[in-house]
Structure formats: structure tokens, C-alpha cells
Copies of this chain bind each other. A is one copy, B any other.
Amino acid sequence: MAKKIVTMGELLLRLTTPGHSRFTQARSFDAIYGGAEANVAVFLANMGMDSYFLTRLPENEIGQSAVNFLRSYGVKTDYIVRGGERLGIYFLEKGTSTRPSKVVYDRKHSSICDINAEKINFDEVFKDADWFHLSGITPALGEKCITLVEKATDYAKKKGIRISVDLNYRNKLWDYPDFEKVMVNIIKDVDVCFGWINSEEDKEYSVADFAKQGVELDNFKNIFSNMQKRFNIKYVVTTLRENYSATHNAMSALIYDGNELYQSKKYDFTIEDRVGAGDAFAAGLVYKLVNGANSRDALEFATASAVLKHTVEGDFNLCSEDEIMAVAGGNTSGSVQR
């Protein structure tokens, strides 16, 4: 039977300019709905999991369109609560070559910011759940969201549900000290932490979504080992990315299992849409771990998932397990599949 996985976070409307056109050139925006945790939920549904997404959306047609978008990919939306002022928005302009992609956020005052955690029926949400995934973005959205995250993780930990947290520190959303203060409680005793907290250490290794390639693996081993001990985390994980240009990157990933630091294969690729690559990585790892894979196989799958995400327009990795396994297995030749 398919595993039940609960993912929680904000769902946003993404408005992207056509092709690589700049904001001032756009006479239309492509519209999709996504967000760090929703991207994970879609991937898991796509892998056949019983994937539930928990958020709060306004009671209007824009909120309903967001629900429909997730449902289309098989995500279960039963736990979504409705109400509040608006759906958060982000505007995206996709860069190319020497010009970076650009995001303009318009996500303040969104419905989830006012969520009342008391009204969530966590008994029902976590009933028979196998895994709970969340990210460090949600508590950055304000007091009510911190309460939500704390209540949810407390509940899940008590019930013995496995948990993964993607730190996803965004300096535009909150300051590092606030971030650290909140997150240290959340990541305690979880199964997987994507990224690390390292304020005491050298700045180069402070928390980051994606570390740069070429850094010393020994340093990582040291930091991850400290994380692991300090917070009792089973796996500390990160991707390593090299940015050659807005449309040409390389990527590998690291996993530390409390014992060894393992580095995945490294891939070189061009980019159609890089938003959500980190989420595709997290989702790939969770999918494999919840289904019993060992950490190395899970990492290779997760890395291939992240790499393939770059080829798919939108926030989601819509590739199949077979497609990801093929890339993880070394076939990146791109021969036509007839």
C-alpha cells in the first residue's frame, strides 16, 4: 500500500514572463501554482504516494485554481483550509546565459499568515501518516506560522512519524538569528535535515540552500557531524551546485548518515527552469527513504531528480521514476524515447 506523506507549507501563484522576456516587456504572464513544500507534495503524488498537502488558501477563484492545480497532479487537498485575505504571488523572469533569473515577491498578507493552528485537526491529518515534510520558509511567515509548525512537528514527533525539514533559509524573509532560534527546536530528532545551521562556524559554511562545488568535503563532514550530534538528526543532506551561467550548471549532492559522508555523481546540464530543483531533490530523497532505500541509493535518486527538474518548465519535477532511474543509472544521452 502506498505510504501516506503529509507536506505543509505555503502555496503561491507564480506569474512568469513568456520565454526569457523581461518584466517590462511582458504583456502576459504564464500562471502556475507552486511553492517549496507543494513541489514536494506533487512529486510524491507523481511517484504514487498518498500525498496530502496542508495549507490555507483564500475563498475565491484564485484560491480554487490553486487547489485544482494540485489535484490535477494527484495531490490530496482534503486538509487544505480556506479563508484569509489573498494568495501569495511571486513574479518570475527567467534569465539566460550571463543574465540571472529574477524573482519579485508579492507574498505578504497571504492567507497562511493568519492561519489558526487550533483549527487544524492534526489527529486526522497525521492518521496513519508515514512521513511529514516541511521547510524553514513557513515559520518565516510570522508568529502564527511558527505556532503552526511547532504544533505540527510536536504532534508528528509524538506519534513517531518520520520528519524531514528543508531549512531553506531566505534572508529576505527573516534574519539569521531569528531563523536559528526557531529552527533549532524544529529540527531536533528529525530524520532528515536539508542544509545545516552553523552560525558559530566560518561564514562560508553558514546555512545555504546550495553549497558551491569545490569546497573541502572534510569541512562538510565536520559541520554535518556536529549537526547530527547536536540535534540528533539521522541524515544531514545538501546539494552542491556550480553556476556557470543562468542556463548552464553542474550539480552533485552530499549525505551524512552519522558515520560517513557520501557524495553523489556529478551532472553537467543546461537549464529550462531551475525553480524547484531543491524541492525535487528533497522529494526524491524522502520518496526513496520512506520506501526503504539505503541512503546512498536515495541520494543518487534525489540528485538525478534535481537534475531532471531543470529540464521541466514550472515548479514541479514531472518526470517518472523510470526516467529518473535512467539518469541516475548514467543515461544522460537524451536519445529519443519512441
Which among A18-26, A187-195, A220-228, A293-301 touches the partner chain? A18-26
List CB contacts (< 8 Å) of A48-72 with chain B: 60-62, 64-65, 68-69, 71-72
**Interface size class, chain A:** 35 or more
Q: Are B20 and A96 touching (Cβ within 8 A)?
A: no
A334's contact among B21, B26, B101, B170, by CB below 8 Å, is which? B101
Is A116 an interface residue when CB atoms closer than 8 A count as contact? no
Interface string of A278-316 (1 = CB under 8 A from B): 000000000000000000000000000001101111100
Contact of B270 with A97 in the complex, beta carbons under 8 Å: yes
Taking a contact as CB atoms under 8 Å apart, the answer to whether A270 and B96 are in contact is yes
**Per-position 1/0 for A7-34, Cβ under 8 A of B:** 0000000010001111111111111100
Chain B residues near A248: list those with CB within 8 A: 270, 334
Give residues 230-260 of A contacting B (CB, 8 Å): 243-248
A73 contacts partner chain B, Cβ-Cβ < 8 Å: yes
* Bound CA span A307–B98, Å: 8
A71 to B51, CA, bound (A): 14
Cβ-defined contact, B29 with A15, below 8 A: yes
| Contact indicator A96/B311 (Cβ below 8 Å) | yes
Which among A83-91, A154-162, A177-185, A197-205 touches the partner chain?
A: A83-91
Residues of B within 8 A of A245 (CB): 269-270, 332-334
Could you tell me the distance in whole angstroms from the C-beta of A267 to the nearest C-beta in chain B? Answer: 7
CB distance from A241 to the nearest CB of B (A): 9
**With A21-B313, A109-B108, A272-B97 as contacts: A103 and B336 at CB distance below 8 Å:** yes
Query: Which residues on B sit within 8 Å (CB–CB) of A167?
Result: none
A311 touches B98 (CB 8 A): yes
The reply to whether B106 and A308 form a contact with Cβ atoms under 8 Å apart is no
A318 at the interface (CB under 8 A from B): yes
Is A38 on the interface with B (CB-CB < 8 A)?
no
A121 at interface (Cβ–Cβ under 8 A)? no
- A229 contacts B by Cβ under 8 Å: no
Proximity string of chain A (80-114) to chain B, C-beta cutoff 8 Å, 1 when within and 0 when not: 00000111010101011111111111101100000
Determine which residue in A74, A95, A96, A334 has the highest number of CB atoms from chain B within 10 A of its CB, and name it: A334
A338 within 8 A of B: yes
A274 touches B (CB below 8 Å):
yes
Given A312-B99, A334-B245, A335-B100, the answer on whether A108 and B86 have CB atoms closer than 8 Å is yes
For the complex, what is the distance from the CA of A27 to the CA of B32, rounded to whole Å? 7
A313 touches B20 (CB 8 A): yes
Q: CA A248 – CA B247 in complex, angstroms? A: 13
Is A271 interfacial (CB 8 A cutoff)? yes
- CB contacts (< 8 Å) of A338 on chain B: these are 103, 105, 170, 172
Knowing that A68-B74, A71-B74, A243-B333 are A-B contacts, what are 6 other residue pairs whose CB atoms are under 8 Å apart, sorted by A's residue number? A61-B102, A85-B108, A97-B272, A97-B310, A98-B269, A245-B269
Selected A-B contacts with CB under 8 Å, 8 pairs:
A25-B318, A95-B336, A97-B269, A97-B272, A98-B307, A100-B333, A100-B335, A247-B334
